[in-house]
Amino acid sequence: MTTVASVAKLGFAYPATPVLHDVDMTVHAGHIHALIGLNGAGKTTLMRAVLGMLTPDTGTATLFGQPAATAPALVWKRVGYLLGTESTYGELTGRENIYAAARLHGLDRHAARQATEAAITEFGIEAEAGKRAARLSMGNRQRVALAAAFAHRPDLLVLDEPTIALDPLAVVALRRSLRDATHRGAAILVSSHHLDEVARLADDITVIHRGRITATLDPGGTDLEKQFFDLVYAAE
Ligand code: ATP
């Protein structure tokens, strides 16, 4: 298995708030790796560490074999992400958001235009693409952000609760896009509170509780919800 991203013995604290403790995690090419945990467990913070958006206090975060926080632009081109509301610019249209993301991730103008139109079709947002993101419903803005994350066909996708505002049709479309991405070899790190969705999709599951990795679960194993609650109650 090819390692795309990993953290080792990673610790991180916001001022006066310790969040991550001694975290080890590896994300493999071609795998959907789900991160599950209660509200405030540290999932978003861990994703930011994986992406090199914060500097660990202890331990390491590695992206494509390079230290994540100082990885060169070449590495950044291979990454796509969706982290809540940070992922779209309200003043730009849906199409402009996707194009801007594609350019930022290294596509030339022609390739970015093509990738933008392909992503608009893939995510079924033709009707929304011409509108400013700030004017879109939360779900449609989320679909624009997803199209922007996928457009340049990254080798690593980091998606923080990507289905949170999506309708059932959009969830099905996203599931298809995730599978297509892994079939071309991409690695996906995704957080979700929907354990049925995780059980259905994930190849690997990491449980984080109070900033510590509590377990790695087998999606093919017994009832994921039961496994999750047993772990969380045992850790309390
Ligand atoms: P949720 O499921 O609710 O989205 P999460 O597992 O993604 O939660 P994080 O967002 O990583 O959790 O938050 C972990 C902890 O870090 C929480 O206690 C949170 O209050 C704290 N935290 C997050 N961002 C900041 C920040 N910018 N400054 C200070 N503390 C923060």
User: Could you read off the pLDDT of 35-81 as tens digits, one per residue?
Assistant: 999 999 999 999 999 999 999 999 999 999 999 988 777 788 899 99
Is residue 12 domain-resident? Answer: yes
Domain range spanning residue 26? 1-41+52-62
- Rounded mean pLDDT, 173-194: 95
Ligand 1 atom with the smallest distance to the CA of 46 is 11
| 200-214 pLDDT, tens digit each | 899 999 999 999 988
* Helix residue spans in 77-223 (DSSP H): 94-104, 109-122, 138-150, 168-183, 195-201
Contact 165, 192 (CB under 8 A): no
Is residue 107 domain-resident? Answer: no
3-state SS assignment for residue 5: strand
Contact 84, 43 (CB under 8 A): no
Is residue 85 domain-resident? Answer: no
Task: Copy the structure tokens of residue 116.
Answer: 């933008």
Least confidently predicted of 18-27, 102-111, 221-230: 221-230
Ligand 1 atom with the smallest distance to the CA of 38 is 2
- Rounded mean pLDDT, 120-132: 96
* pLDDT value for 96: 98
Q: Is the pLDDT of residue 142 over 90?
A: yes
Q: Is the pLDDT of residue 86 over 70?
A: no
Closest residue by Cα to atom 15, ligand 1, is 40
Rounded to the nearest integer, the mean pLDDT of the chain is: 92
ipTM (interface pTM): 0.97
* pLDDT value for 229: 86
Is residue 11 domain-resident? Answer: yes
Q: What is the share, in percent, of the chain residues with pLDDT greater than 70?
A: 98
More confidently predicted of 27 and 199: 27
Is residue 7 domain-resident? Answer: yes
Rounded (10°) angle between helices 138-150 and 94-104: 30
Closest residue by Cα to atom 18, ligand 1, is 40
186 Cα to the center of ligand 1, angstroms: 27
Band of residue 221 on the pLDDT scale cut at 50, 70, 90: low
Is residue 82 domain-resident? Answer: no
Number of structural domains (the chain) is: 1
What are the counts of helices (DSSP H) followed by strands (DSSP E) for the chain?
8, 10
Give the mutation target among 7, 10, 17, 206 for probing the ligand 1 site: most ligand atoms within 8 A of CB.
Answer: 17
153 Cα to the center of ligand 1, angstroms: 29
* pLDDT value for 183: 96
Contact 148, 123 (CB under 8 A): no
As for ligand 1, residues whose beta carbon falls within 6 Å of it are: 14, 17, 19, 37, 39-45
Closest residue by Cα to atom 11, ligand 1, is 42
Spatial CA neighbour of 34 closest among 231, 147, 187: 187
Is residue 74 domain-resident? Answer: no
Is residue 18 domain-resident? Answer: yes
Band of residue 140 on the pLDDT scale cut at 50, 70, 90: very high
* pLDDT value for 216: 85
